Amino acid sequence: MTDGVRATDRDGAPPPFAMAGGVVRRDGREVLSGVDLRVEAGDVLAVLGPNGAGKSTLVKALLGLVPLAAGRTEIFGEPPARFRGWQRVGYVPQRLPMGGGVPSTVREVVASGRTARRSRWLPALVTDRAADRAAVDRALAAVGLAGRARDSAHLLSGGQQQRVLIARALAGEPDVFVMDEPTAGVDAASQAALAATLRGLADAGRTVVLVAHELGPLEPLITRTVELEHGRVARESAPSRTGSTTGSRTGSAA
Ligand SMILES: Nc1ncnc2c1ncn2[C@@H]1O[C@H](COP(=O)(O)OP(=O)(O)OP(=O)(O)O)[C@@H](O)[C@H]1O
């Protein structure tokens, strides 16, 4: 492989994410320093590291939500600015964004995960609307919030809001999930439920990138880990599908 960005997988398809020499500066300070990272289809990758190491910045940069000051990154072979397949990517941010002062119900937030699947120009067909409703119902059930669908999302606890955001991503039925600390502030039972959901996604061949401080019950699902320190990849390991670590190395990710 000569170029971390351009290389393709065995089928010739570009990988979900490929970053080469990624640098991000915030307030004139380098918070991501020359990160090389390829995420292959089917990876369940955990991005680990201490507070402030750059984990959230890395996943936002992979998605093009923060610009690179140097280096390159691609989503399914396209730079984020040219990428058009957003229905293939589900992002679970750390917090529920506060939108415009209009309270949204849990169902409305989860249903917004379907938006990228719809045409901007054509009205939704009746069959599309039925598929949307069914996907939203499945997503709500998967995170145990079916009974809270009509509640205001902003009045839920932090852990429940996190589950709403996970459901929003599930509702979009994407190929790739990017989750920023999906277990932060979530009780043990909800973490176990999330682990079961992730197991289903992994078994279905979905790609998952998740940021975590502690893996907890998610640990057995993780196929790769990347550990950041001070904005650099300090360690990379490749635990097996069953979660036991098969190897690790120190240095920059390839
Ligand atoms: N919008 C911003 N403006 C300025 N600095 C920022 C901004 N966002 C993040 N930073 C800084 O970038 C560095 C990396 O932050 P980031 O949130 O990516 O780390 P993290 O590893 O995800 O931390 P945590 O585990 O606490 O969420 C930190 O020093 C942080 O203060």
Domains defined along the chain, listed by start: 88-176+183-194 (3.40.50.300)
Nearest alpha carbon, ligand 1 atom 12: 31
- Classify the phi-psi angles of 220: left when phi > 0, otherwise alpha if psi is within -120 to 50, otherwise beta: alpha
| Ligand 1 centroid, distance to 65 Cα (angstroms) | 14
Pick the atom of ligand 1 nearest to 228's CA: 21
Residues 6 or more apart in contact with residue 165 via CB below 8 angstroms: 92, 93, 96, 109
Residue located nearest, by CA, to atom 10 of ligand 1: 26
Whether 95 lines ligand 1, by a CB cut-off of 6 Å, is: no
Ligand 1 centre to CA of 42 (Å) is 28
- Can you tell me the ipTM of this complex? 0.95
32 CA to centre of ligand 1 in angstroms: 10
Distance 56 CA to ligand 1 centre (A): 7
Residue with CA nearest ligand 1 atom 13: 52
Spatial distance between the Cα atoms of 250 and 233, rounded to a whole number of angstroms: 8
pTM of the model: 0.85
CA of 231 to the centre of ligand 1 (A): 10
The letter for the amino acid at 141 is A
pLDDT in tens, the chain (254 residues): 444 455 555 567 899 999 999 999 999 899 999 999 999 999 999 999 999 999 999 999 999 999 999 999 999 999 999 999 999 999 999 877 766 566 789 999 999 998 876 655 656 666 677 888 999 999 999 888 999 999 999 888 888 888 899 999 999 999 999 999 988 777 787 788 888 888 999 999 999 999 998 888 889 999 999 999 999 999 998 655 544 443 343 333 33
